[in-house]
Copies of this chain bind each other. A is one copy, B any other.
Amino acid sequence: MVPQTTVAAMKSTIPESGVPIAKPADSGPERSEPSLHGEILSRLRDYVVEGNIPDGGRVPERQLCEMFGISRTPLREALKVLAAEGLIDLLPNRGARVRQLGKRDLEELFDVMGGLESLAGRLACETITDEEIAEIERLHYEMYGHYLHRNMHNYFQANQRIHERIVAASRNETLRTIYANLAGRIRRVRYSANFARERQRWTEAMREHEGILDALRRRAGSELADILFQHLRNKRTAAVEHLGGMPEGAIAEATEG
């Protein structure tokens, strides 16, 4: 994880577990990047990612200031960063809105995530240990159990963790950071839209995961890369089909506030 919040002084020290973007990728041991600005950033990012604001809705500057008990300056800085991360859109003089993900955006995001996971798998095959594979195997069978019990929620969590483990096994912090960023962008969709449709390809997904595990065991890098990309491509199809009827970028004008 990327700790960019360790202030233990005045404000409420919240151990953010959110989505870090690019703080670091530093190779040194100087972890812990305090700054109380990062605190706000993390909290605001979580607030947005968790879906407290409707899709495409306005991000009330003033309101959030009171909510966090700060002035507008640090909040606006955080907004700029969130815009750079792609979570919100910053319109000229019209304030901030949470980014609308249209069909095309989702396709692109899933493809890039596919590419990153593909890369992660390839890199992982170079240096992954038997213990790490064993851990992933454990998660895999756990996930299989949830599949058999038709426990969608737990299945999904195990699934996510497997993919995170693969990314972690790539031993590339830069990759991990970018991956986390993209994951944050589609998290809203993942938990709402993706669910329903994904169920219909449970069996197919499980089979793909077996292939992933198999390739990983054999350290077959480029083969694993292919499988992972295709796996995400299938996920993409499922996710996009879910909001198939809707036009480009108009999921909901949504009542704000």
Flag whether A169 is at the interface (Cβ < 8 A).
no
The residues of B that contact A85 with a CB separation of less than 8 Å are 22, 25, 84
Flag whether A115 is at the interface (Cβ < 8 A).
yes
A127 to chain B, nearest CB (A): 12
Task: Give A123's nearest chain B residue, CB to CB.
Answer: B111
C-alpha spacing A211/B81, complex, angstroms: 40
The residues of B that contact A226 with a CB separation of less than 8 Å are 222, 225
Flag whether A132 is at the interface (Cβ < 8 A).
no
A132 to chain B, nearest CB (A): 18
Task: Give A77's nearest chain B residue, CB to CB.
Answer: B80
The residues of B that contact A108 with a CB separation of less than 8 Å are 25, 27, 172-175
Tell me how many chains of this kind the complex includes: 2
The residues of B that contact A23 with a CB separation of less than 8 Å are 83-84
A169 to chain B, nearest CB (A): 13
Q: Mark A86-97, 1 if CB is under 8 A from B, else 0.
A: 100110110000
Flag whether A58 is at the interface (Cβ < 8 A).
no
Flag whether A165 is at the interface (Cβ < 8 A).
no
Pick from B103, B112, B116, B119: contact of A229, CB under 8 Å = B119
C-alpha spacing A105/B22, complex, angstroms: 13
- Interface pairs A-B: 5 shortest CB-CB: A115-B119, A25-B86, A27-B104, A108-B174, A22-B86
A interface, CB within 8 angstroms of B: 21-30, 33-35, 37, 73, 76-78, 80-81, 83-86, 89-90, 92-93, 99-105, 108-109, 111-112, 114-116, 118-120, 122-123, 172-175, 178, 222, 225-226, 229, 248-249
Known: A25-B105, A34-B92, A73-B73. 16 other contacts (CB 8 A): A21-B84, A26-B102, A27-B86, A27-B102, A28-B100, A29-B102, A37-B80, A76-B77, A77-B77, A81-B83, A81-B84, A112-B174, A115-B115, A115-B175, A118-B119, A225-B225
